[in-house]
Amino acid sequence: MAKQTHDPNILDTEHVGKLLLKLATPAFFGMFVQTLYNVVNTIFMGYFVSPQAIGGLSIVFPIQMLAWGIGMMVGMGGGSLISRSIGSGNTKDAERTIGNGISLGFVISIGLMIIVLPFTNFWLRLIGASDEVLPYASIYLIVIISATTINTLATSLLNFSRAEGNARVGMIAMIMGAVLSIILDAIFVIPLKMGAFGAALATVISQTAALAYLLSYYFTGSSYLKIRLRNLRPDWSILKQMSAIGVSSFVQTIASSLSAMLLLRMVVNYGGDAALNAFGIIQRVMMFATMPAMVFGQGLQPILGFNYGAKRYHLAIKAVKIAVTVSTSLSILAFAALYLIPGSIMRIFTDHIPTIDAGIHASRLVFLSMPFMGAVMVGQTIFQALGKVMQSFILAIVRPVVFLIPLVLLMSNLWQLDGVFLAFPVADILTLLLVIGLALPILRQFRKAADAKMGKIDKIAPNRLVEPIENRIID
């Protein structure tokens, strides 16, 4: 057996600010390269295939979100259990969670394939694909959805490795997959002229490579937790907890997918294919720009889950404060940088003048939501990390369904296409207010519990995750 290379005691011994940076940095580089691939893929579609190919990717995106959402449901739900199990010293439950997560992800992903693949054109027409966009969207969707199981397992295992405090493994897997995707994309799309099929095939091959690496991490003995075949057998208690926590993430994905379908139809109705192409570019720019803020939310989850499980509430509060401050600052910086140069950004992706003109105007409206997104992302992570099912579920539904869809319908009637795009910042402001309202009572409870257990926290080793033995209060 290979020598163990990862020690979860990092969650137990490291300075909270340093630990958050240590966990967020690998996730940042991994997501940076992964998001860069999405950007490069869109550039290839815009310059070497057709502007309508960008529209095809946009039409597929809501369905692709569902495939990704399955992995995030299992990964976030299981990750919360894993971090809290390690924090309470229960390694066996953590390993059972991994095995059950693999089984759950496999079954649900097969179900999605059965629902989507026989009816691809129906779903794409429902979203708003025109005759010009449909051929690109159809072939891309068929290839991507056929590999849903691979993507689900890779996403789940990536979150599991991060939950045990090893963000480096996820970084390597994401970088490996993204770099391979970019290389294969360039080969398949440019010299081989395989179009949207080549782009989708490059994605699937890269996801397979990432999954192989993650499996090797768990099977070769280099991980703290192991995949054991006996743990693949369903444990209904674990499945119930994992689903209850992770379902908020999946419900949010479903809700976001439905709202995206409505948005795309409204964009096509009011602006045609040029607006659709522009919106696809804006989506990818937003993913790239908000990614730094997102990774601090991801880095927060294992820290928060561990310290909650270990009843170290003062450190949980400190981690939340740091994550919110950094994520919000990064979101504001990204907004300031992008809002000034929308034309230059659009020209990176295409030389199609109608798409560029539509994108310049739309981006100035959509980008207004960026300053609020960092705090919202961290807020969502708080409830998942703590296993707060009700709060997670509320947030999952409210932003895309309760806020965004009604706002799009109302504001589009008033201002047509501009109303569709302005609905984004309004929905994000309302979501942020809700996050604050839900999070503050929990943080106040943490403060009271910490004070009751430890007295004056700031005077007892304030900068370490583990208090000195002589100062530690034993229940």
Give the lowest-confidence range in 32-36, 99-103, 110-114, 231-235.
Answer: 32-36
* CB contact burial 214-232 (16+ within 10 A = b; e otherwise): beebbeeebbbbbbeeebb
The pLDDT, as a whole number, for residue 465 is 41
CA–CA dist 110, 335 (Å, integer): 39
Q: Structure tokens of 242?
A: 């994992």
11 pLDDT band, cuts 50/70/90, is: low
CA–CA dist 419, 410 (Å, integer): 8
**Which amino acid is located at 83 in the chain?**
S
Residue 4 is classified by DSSP as: P
Give the lowest-confidence range in 8-22, 165-179, 231-245.
Answer: 8-22
The pLDDT, as a whole number, for residue 4 is 46
* pTM (predicted TM-score): 0.74
Q: What are phi and psi of 133, to 5 degrees?
A: -90, -30
Helix %, strand %, coil % for the chain, to 5?
Answer: 85, 0, 15
Give the CA distances from residue 114 to residues 96, 109, 144, in Å, rounded to whole numbers and listed in that order. Answer: 28, 9, 13
Radius of gyration of the chain (CA): 22
CA–CA dist 272, 352 (Å, integer): 14
